[in-house]
Amino acid sequence: MKVFETKDIRNVALIGSAKSGKTTIIESMLYHGKVIQRKGSVESGNTASDYRPIELDKGNSIVTSVLHTFYDNTKINILDTPGSSDYIGELVTSLHAADTAVMTLNGANGVEVGNEIGWRYATKSEIPTMFLANYMDNENVKFDELIQQMKTFFGNAVIAAQYPINPGPDFNAIIDLVLNKMIKFDENGKFELHDIPEEEKERAEEMQLNLIEAAAEGSEELMEKYFETETLTLEEMREGLNLGLQKRAVFPVFVASAKNETGITRIMEFIKSSTPSPEQAPAAKTKEGDELTYDANEPFTAQIFKTSIESHLGEVAFMKIYSGKVQEGNDVINGHTGNKERITQIYAMAGKNRERMEEAQAGDIIATIKLKDSKVNTTLNDSSVSDREVAPLEFPNPLYTTAIKATNSSDEEKMGTFLQDIINMDPSLDLEYSKELRQIILRGMGEQHINNVKWIFENIHKIDVTLYTAKVPYRETITKNSKSYYRHKKQSGGAGQFGEVYIMIEPYHEGKEPQKEYPIRKTEEYDLKWGGKLIYNNCIVGGAIDNKFMPAILKGIMEKLEIGPLTGSYARDIVVNVYDGKMHPVDSNEVSFKIAGRMSFSDAFKKAAPQILEPIYDMEVIVPEEKMGDVMTDLQGRRAIIMGMEGKGIYQHIKAKVPLAEVAKYSTALNSLTSGRAFYTLEFAEYSPVPPDIQEKLIKEYEESEEE
């Protein structure tokens, strides 16, 4: 493949609903760019982008595919994203690497859930966005209503750049308001330009005037030209739309029928002529805030934004080049570890197909193999800028939590290894080996996302895994003072064991005065790694317990803090006063006092009006107004406390505090309530006491499990 300069590269992410025809659009783009010789189809399972076994089995896109095509000496890199909310991580990754988003819609269905999701993240990433209304060959298309609906959802900067003359089964002609021509397509997607028919001129002139005004707003010079002449030339229109896209001040709408090859080549031409090249895109930032310009003459810097396992290649790293150039055989430096990596081969990927490249320049998206320790978010550099790191991708917090284990215990080690590999390739998943819960916790964006992990284990790795309910990380504390003592005495022929410990415990509160009942000889304060504090006071007088046994008593108490007396959860925020005890001149030892300390603490804890605390999260639910009542009712059933509501456009933002125990799998319920149109965020807020009936239930369940 020839070397493409930065100005001749375009990077686009196809985003939108799952059934908007993205895969078919890409097949047409690759076919017209002569990257593939024959178009595949979704029905036949032989498309370039949906080729992975899991996608063929489930019948929809699950992983972003990296592809490329060509148009008029321009290389167009394409990131084909899944349309489901469960794969937000793939969308975030693609928008990070692309310079323009192409939002696809099913023209007959209008704005769907996937479009709302895509728009939300495109807006957050501030990426230039254009729209492609597909399926114009559907008899239910009503274009004017579609445009109005899009304005309602996406704002008044949405503007038609084309409209179909004959939408429906015979669709083959478009009025192009940029070219000011009618485009007629044959069955192979080739087109001819014609003058606009007389019967369409009035409508076309009115719509073109709106488009010219939007393009003129791209710069002061164009606006002055428009005021002088009341029109713009084709080149000025292209310039204005390019500038408007960069500022996210205009969102042009194009039309197509990818299945019938109608409109696709014109889309490719517009991407080439009017969407930003990398050198026009906002500069990338390093972790330190420095800007990286897309300059091929600067030292090489690239960031890995995605990895995957590909048939016959192994692990593949996909990267975007932010500066410089790279050739096969170059040595580069991992900006985080300082380790050397070799770029053995460079590929331009087209889904399951690939083409070797000898060199790639700034702005391009490439793939390479056989990297040793470079994963997603790794920056690779020329040795002259070896410690440079591009600002990392930020993934949304996972929303769906489950526990996972190997069905056969002999597979546990293999499962752990493969789990880490899966997490490395999909950082929107989160893995935790929880000592506290004694579970392996897997978190993802939704039930489908997690179920795909199970599919990979069972179908690729041939390991049966079980998904089951994750425990809640409760905390235990006390609400009043109490006393207890314990004598540990054991005699078994030789040396015995003896230790007797008297303690008084009290709740810890920041700034609270210590107890005055016993003189405190020494205070030790510990910040517990699970949160909260332990204050350990030595109040022994007269040598009732030798100082050398005090650490053993503390160790016994610490052991019980890690496995709380009520539910086995971590305990916190307690002051322990050791005020008396007894020793034996022969039988006393550290083990004896550790046991005595643990047992006396456990007994005192249960007498001190103990309280179970549960994690409370700040939740924000963004829901269409017409679904708000259903969502509010459901939240109240989940013990949520509504903190406020705010209307923003067609959505209501509901803010609430909600117990984690009630929302571990909330994404599934919310999707069901709102047909997938609502979404939410979660952020840990605090620990708060559970209601008495729930505390009683938790203690009973723990006691029963301990008996078993």
What are the tens digits of pLDDT across the range 374-428? 899 999 999 999 999 999 999 988 989 999 999 999 999 999 999 999 998 899 9
Task: Tell me which DSSP letter residue 107 carries.
Answer: T
Q: What is the pLDDT of residues 237-246, one digit of tens each?
A: 999 999 999 9
What is the percent of the chain with per-residue pLDDT over 90, rounded to a whole number? Answer: 80
Average confidence (pLDDT) over 90-105: 96
H-run or E-run covering 611: strand 610-624
Measure the CA–CA gap between 633 and 645, rounded to whole angstroms. Answer: 14
Average confidence (pLDDT) over 655-682: 91
Q: How many residues does the chain have?
A: 708
Average confidence (pLDDT) over 276-297: 92
H-run or E-run covering 89: helix 88-97
Q: Which two tokens stand for residue 207?
A: 């719509």
pLDDT of residue 58: 85
* CB burial string 143-164: b at 16+ within 10 A, e below: beebbeebeeebeebbbbbbbb
Average pLDDT, the chain: 93
Task: Tell me which DSSP letter residue 584 carries.
Answer: -
pLDDT of residue 189: 72
For the chain, how far is it from start to end, CA to CA, in angstroms?
67
What is the percent of the chain with per-residue pLDDT over 70, rounded to a whole number? Answer: 100
- Kindly tell me if the per-residue pLDDT of 649 is higher than 80: no
- What is the pTM (predicted TM-score) of this model? 0.88
Domains of the chain plus CATH, in order, are: 6-198+241-280 (3.40.50.300), 284-385 (2.40.30.10), 401-471 (3.30.70.870), 476-608 (3.30.230.10), 613-694 (3.30.70.240)
**Alpha carbon of residue 128 to chain centroid:** 21
Measure the CA–CA gap between 684 and 210, rounded to whole angstroms. Answer: 47
- Kindly tell me if the per-residue pLDDT of 500 is higher than 80: yes
Measure the CA–CA gap between 75 and 361, rounded to whole angstroms. Answer: 12
Measure the CA–CA gap between 277 and 294, rounded to whole angstroms. Answer: 10
Measure the CA–CA gap between 617 and 346, rounded to whole angstroms. Answer: 45
Task: Tell me which DSSP letter residue 363 carries.
Answer: T
- Kindly tell me if the per-residue pLDDT of 312 is higher than 90: no
Q: What is the pLDDT of residues 448-471, one digit of tens each?
A: 999 999 999 999 999 999 999 999
pLDDT of residue 493: 67
Measure the CA–CA gap between 241 and 262, rounded to whole angstroms. Answer: 23
> Which has more pLDDT, 539 or 514?
539
- What are the residues whose beta carbons fall under 8 Å from the beta carbon of 174, sequence distance 6 or more? 162, 163, 164, 165, 182, 183, 185, 255, 262, 263, 266
Picking from 388, 379, 350, 382, the residue whose alpha carbon sits closest to that of residue 367 is 350
